[in-house]
Amino acid sequence: MQSPATQAGGSYWFIQGMRGIVSLPAFILFCSFVGFTGFAAESGIGRAEAVFMTGSVWALPAMVLLVTSALGNVALPAAFLTVTLSSIRLMPMVAALIPEIRTSKTRTIALLAVSHFVAVTAWVFTMERIQKVPPEHRLKFFAGFGITLTSCNMMIVGVGYSLVDALPPLAAGTLFFLTPIYFVTSIWASARDMAVYLAMIVGLVLAPLFHQVAPEFDILYTGIIGGTIAFGLERLIRARKAKSAGRAKS
């Protein structure tokens, strides 16, 4: 037996997800996309191409690299390689999100379809709020948010294309600064286990070091090595706690 509230839930939770575009994370992403629009227009990418790129790629760092490759007359296979290496991070992000939004009845094809809308902002937003959504409606909640957020940003790029020249440098710089500050605070605020805090600290420290050694792969190395260090530390702390708890008992 389903309760009336759960029956009504389907479209209700989709709309709750849509309402997420009126939120701090969505606002910050809009600001970042205004910044991207300026960059694309400056680089000579057409309006239609910039809008299409926003909807189809939907990952800001990948889009910046794609524009840079187009601009630098890089051959298609090399452009593919650059973009794809920068996007490996999407795999663990999606893999971490999937157990949060699926139930035993969720079809894989539906998960494949909504996975397109996973990017840093949608990931942070969803990991932060998903616990409050009933498990059977989480996929709809995420789809409502992801589809609306992507569509709005396509519109921002389309409309903003003619307007971005007017942006003063102080405002543009501050818009770019907003994104990392928002990411670090919201991930920290939404963390539910020690491993996330540790991974954040280790990652922030390792990234500039790896950037000196291997600038092309710094994000990838930081993720795999930093994440593994954080995981090891978490296991160690957990084992130590269990040990001292066991000793207290005996």
Stretch 144-173 residues interacting with other proteins (CB under 8 A): 169-170, 172-173
* 93 is a site residue for other proteins (CB under 8 A): yes
Burial class, 111, CB count within 10 angstroms (exposed 0-12 / middle 13-18 / buried 19+): middle
Are 53 and 66 in contact by the 8 Å Cβ rule? The answer is yes
Binding positions for other proteins, 217-246, rule CB under 8 A: 218-220, 222-228, 230-231, 234-235
Q: Measured between alpha carbons, how far is 188 from 37 in angstroms, rounded to an integer? A: 29
Q: Does 61 bind other proteins (CB under 8 A)?
A: yes
The DSSP secondary structure of 57-94, one letter per residue, reads H--HHHHHHHHHHHHTT--HHHHHHHHHHHTTTHHHHH
Binding other proteins (rule: CB under 8 A), the pick from 120, 122, 156, 157 is 120
Q: Which stretch binds other proteins (CB under 8 A): 9-17, 150-158, 213-221, 240-248?
A: 213-221
Q: How many residues sit in the footprint of other proteins (CB under 8 A)?
A: 100
Residue 47 lies near other proteins (rule: CB under 8 A)? no
Residues 134, 244: Cα–Cα separation, whole Å: 36
From 8-16, 144-152, 154-162, 206-214, span contacting other proteins (CB under 8 A)? 206-214
Q: Is 130 in the site for other proteins (CB under 8 A)?
A: no
Q: Based on CB atoms, which residue is closest to other proteins, 26 or 120?
A: 120
* Options 29, 34, 40, 63; binder of other proteins; rule CB under 8 A: 63
In the complex, the smallest distance separating the C-beta of residue 30 from other proteins, rounded to whole angstroms, is 15
Asked if 40 and 157 count as a contact pair (C-beta separation under 8 A), the reply is yes
**Residue 21 or 202: which CB sits closer to other proteins?**
202
Token pair belonging to 222: 């930081």
Here the tokens at position 66 are: 């794609």
- Whichever of 152 and 224 has its CB closer to other proteins, that residue is 224
Which of the stretches 1-9, 105-113, 152-160, 241-249 binds other proteins when contact is defined by CB under 8 A?
105-113
Place of tokens 């530390």: 233
Secondary structure letter of residue 193 according to DSSP = S
DSSP-based three-state secondary structure for 44 = coil
Which two tokens mark 49? 């191409």
Shortest distance, position 36 Cβ to other proteins, whole Å? 10
